[in-house]
């Protein structure tokens, strides 16, 4: 049986002020990572400029050197995977009664009382 106590004290995330703090913190972390990534990109470009004459360009395509390209590419790939999974679900989905017994067997169990939950068992 499930525990249905009503005297439970509120949890940390039950307070909307705390939910807002978590939400804003996640945005802050994302912004810090974006700024840090751009700073690293600027540093890498300066570093590569010194060695560009001897090594050539590292990117296979010009758009790979665009700021934020891989973040955008990852987001688009993630959205494509979700949409593909939704379509794939239509192909492999089974009916709700897929694992149920046959109707005759289910009726027989219902008549005999088999399969019902019993107290103290």
Let me know if residue 59 belongs to a domain: no
Let me know if residue 77 belongs to a domain: yes
pLDDT tens, residue order, the chain (121 aa): 455 666 788 888 899 999 999 999 999 999 999 899 888 888 877 777 666 555 555 667 788 877 778 889 999 999 999 999 999 999 998 888 777 766 667 677 777 776 555 555 4
Predicted pLDDT of residue 2: 57
What is the spatial distance between Cα 62 and Cα 8, in angstroms, rounded to a whole number? 59
Predicted pLDDT of residue 53: 53
* Parent domain of 45: 12-54+64-95
Predicted pLDDT of residue 52: 58
What is the spatial distance between Cα 40 and Cα 47, in angstroms, rounded to a whole number? 10
Let me know if residue 110 belongs to a domain: no
Let me know if residue 24 belongs to a domain: yes
Let me know if residue 1 belongs to a domain: no
Predicted pLDDT of residue 66: 78
Let me know if residue 2 belongs to a domain: no
What predicted TM-score, i.e. pTM, was given to this entire model? 0.42
CA dihedral 73, 76, 78, 81 (to 10 degrees): -120
**What are the DSSP calls for the chain, one per residue?**
-----S-PPPPGGGSHHHHHHHHHHHHHHHHHHHHHHHHHHHHHHHHHHHHHHHH----SSGGGGSTTHHHHHHHHHHHHHHHHHHHHHHHH---TTTTSPPHHHHHHHHHHTTT---TT-
Predicted pLDDT of residue 120: 52
Let me know if residue 34 belongs to a domain: yes
| Tally of structural domains, the chain | 1
Predicted pLDDT of residue 96: 81
Let me know if residue 33 belongs to a domain: yes
């Amino acid at each position: 049986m499930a525990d249905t106590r009503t005297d439970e004290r509120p949890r940390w995330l039950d307070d909307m002020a705390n939910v807002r703090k978590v939400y804003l913190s996640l945005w802050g972390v994302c912004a810090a990572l974006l700024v840090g990534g751009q700073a690293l990109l600027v540093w890498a470009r300066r570093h590569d400029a010194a060695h560009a004459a001897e090594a050539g360009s590292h990117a296979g395509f010009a758009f790979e050197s665009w700021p934020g390209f891989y973040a955008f590419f990852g987001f688009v790939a993630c959205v494509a995977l979700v949409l593909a999974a939704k379509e794939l679900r239509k192909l492999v989905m089974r009916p709700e009664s897929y694992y149920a017994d046959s109707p005759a067997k289910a009726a027989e169990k219902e008549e005999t009382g088999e399969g019902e939950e019993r107290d103290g068992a």
